Amino acid sequence: MIYFFRQNRIGVFTFADVSAKCKNMGQERKKMPEPKRLEFRKTKDITYIAVFAVMIAICSWISIPAAVPFTLQTFAVFFAVGVLGGKRGTLAVLVYILLGAAGIPVFAGFSGGIGVLAGQTGGYIAGFLFSAFVMWGIEKIMGRKLPVQILSMTLGLLACYAVGTAWFMLVYARTVGTVGVGAVLGWCVIPFILPDAAKIVLACVLSRKLAPVLKNMEG
């Protein structure tokens, strides 16, 4: 529910109102000539990808104080794919990682650069892309129903854990010494399981609210 002020009067409109307005916009788009519709679709896709790449960066800067502090990066990745769909969501994640690799401080702690990706925890950032690919693949095979979405996010999270843990062990072994998988899981995965599960729930709820609105706008 959203409140707005107009001519000293307070008005209220809901997601249903927004969705109805966007549906009308989508119907107007259908009346466009085909070349213009294609041009509009390309521009829209680029805009969505850029906006969600920025959103992932902003979420990476937000640190939630807890026994083990965590950011909202994982939530943003799930949310981007959940709203935009597999292809555009994956591209948004890729753009985010490329921006960080180029040195723009979009990673957690306002960091950036190849050094971050090559560091011990860089595999978990690269793992976001694997998460997106997993979600995209499951979406193409099984659709986007709620149980499927929860499954795809869960498997995507496990893919991120697997890539990140393997990379951590490799870098740690080369720079410090051999370390067991149990120790790495205790440092980098187990403390974040419950927060990440909460992020999956939040991403599912919010993406299923916003995705239909965007779909109506697209017509």
Tally of structural domains, the chain: 2
Given a cut of 70, is residue 46 above it in pLDDT? Answer: yes
In a domain, 214, yes or no: no
Across 63-70, average pLDDT: 84
In a domain, 210, yes or no: no
Same-domain pairing of 45 and 27: no
HSE-CB at 210 with a 13 A cutoff on CA atoms is: 15
Same-domain pairing of 109 and 4: no
Q: Residue 28 has what pLDDT?
A: 55
Confidence label for 67 from pLDDT (cuts 50, 70 and 90)? confident
CATH number at residue 109: 1.10.1760.20
Same-domain pairing of 117 and 25: no
Q: What percent of the chain shows pLDDT beyond 90?
A: 74
First and final C-alpha spacing in the chain: 23
Same-domain pairing of 17 and 83: no
**Does residue 107 come out as left (phi exceeding 0), alpha (psi in the -120 to 50 range) or beta?**
beta
**Rounded to two decimals, what is the model's pTM?**
0.84
Q: Residue 3 has what pLDDT?
A: 44
Same-domain pairing of 9 and 111: no
Given a cut of 70, is residue 210 above it in pLDDT? Answer: yes
Domain containing residue 186: 37-200
